[in-house]
């Protein structure tokens, strides 16, 4: 899978994102790193912030498209 569909899922889940990045870590289309900074994440624990990302990507996670996911989240602008 390319990074574009994942980016679209995240953009839909975090319309307020000030930073949104998806990197294919190995070039194999299944190990991804996502970075999301969004005001809507502010005040949430890291666990809750990462949960939001998992929810946004639940489909590609469940069907095995994403083999490994690294997440970096921040609340705020």
Partner 1 sequence: MSYSDRIKGVIEGSDVAIFMKGTPSFVMCGNSDRALQALRRAGAPVTAVDVLPDPRIRQELSAISGWPTIPQVFVKGELVGGADIVEELEQSGELEQTLREKLGDGYAAARDEQTVSLV
Residues that bind partner 1 (CB under 8 A): 46-47, 50-51, 54, 58, 61-62, 68-72
Residue 54 CB, nearest approach to partner 1 (Å)? 5
Q: How far is the CB of 18 from partner 1 (least distance, A)?
A: 19
Q: Which two tokens stand for residue 64?
A: 């095995």
CB nearer to partner 1: pick between 9 and 50: 50
CB 20 within 8 A of CB 56: no
CB of 60 to partner 1, least distance (A): 11
> Is 14 in contact with 40 (CB distance < 8 Å)?
yes
| Cα separation, 41 vs 13, whole angstroms | 11
């Amino acid at each position: 899978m390319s990074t574009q569909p994942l980016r679209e899922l995240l953009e839909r889940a975090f319309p307020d994102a000030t930073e949104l990045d998806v990197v294919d870590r190995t070039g194999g289309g299944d190990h991804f790193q996502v970075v999301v900074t969004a005001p809507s994440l502010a005040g949430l624990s890291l666990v809750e912030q990462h949960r939001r990302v998992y929810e946004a990507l639940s489909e590609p996670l469940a069907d095995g498209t994403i083999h490994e996911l690294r997440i970096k989240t921040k609340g705020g602008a």
